[in-house]
Amino acid sequence: MKKETWKELTLGTINLNAGNSVQNLTGTWRSGKKPQFIEDKCIQCFFCWLYCPHHAIEVQGEEVKGIKYDYCTGCGMCSEVCPPKEKAIVMVKEEIKLAERSSK
């Protein structure tokens, strides 16, 4: 993405491209662990959705359906707050493919 020169910037640091954080793929920050969603354990309490700092919980219709890995940083919050004894979100090891990541 071409970055503006100082002359091209909007006055006063204002960003008129509101909502452009979708372009910021925070999923590239994950290092080593990722959440895995186990649908049949899920009680649809939406705690994960409420707590996730990156809005990375996938919701379809009225149901939690999984994780948006493009934005999930792997912080583990969703798994931590997931109430069932056998959690519906567990953190699993993730191999990081550096080449793939840097291409994003």
Partner 1 sequence: MSTLKTLNGNQSVAEAARQIDPDVVAAYPITPSTSIVETIAKFKADGLITGEFVCPESEHSAMSLCIGAASGGGRVMTATGSQGLALMWEMLYIAAGLRLPIVAGIVNRSLSAPINIHGDHSDTMGARDSGWIQIYSENCQEAYDNFIQAFRIAEHLDVRTPALVGLDGFIISHSLEGIQVEDDEKIKKFAGEYKPVYPMLDTDQKKTVGPIDFTDYYFEHKRNQIEGIENAPKVIEEVGKEFGKEFGREYGFFEEYRTDDAEVCIVVMSSAAGTCKDAVDELRNQGKKVGLLKPRVFRPFPHRKIAEVLKRMKAVAVLDRSSSPGAFGAPLFTEIRSALYDYPERPKIVNYVYGLGGRDIKGEHFKEVASKLERIAKTGKVEEIYGYINLRE
DSSP 10: P
Query: How many whole angstroms from its chain centre is CA 96?
Result: 16
CB of 17 to ligand SF4, least distance (A): 24
Q: What angle do CA 46, 35, 103 make, to 5 degrees?
A: 120
* Of positions 89, 94, 95, 96, contacts ligand SF4 by CB under 6 A: 89
* Of positions 2, 11, 62, 86, contacts partner 1 by CB under 8 A: 11
* Of positions 9, 10, 84, 92, contacts ligand SF4 by CB under 6 A: 84
- Is residue 89 within 8 A of residue 36, CB to CB? The reply is yes
**Neighbour-count burial of 99, counting CB atoms closer than 10 A to its CB (0-12 exposed, 13-18 middle, 19+ buried):** exposed
Residues near partner 1 (CB under 8 A): 3-7, 9-16, 18-19
Residues near ligand SF4 (CB under 6 A): 35, 42-48, 52, 54, 56-57, 64, 67, 72-78, 81-84, 88-89
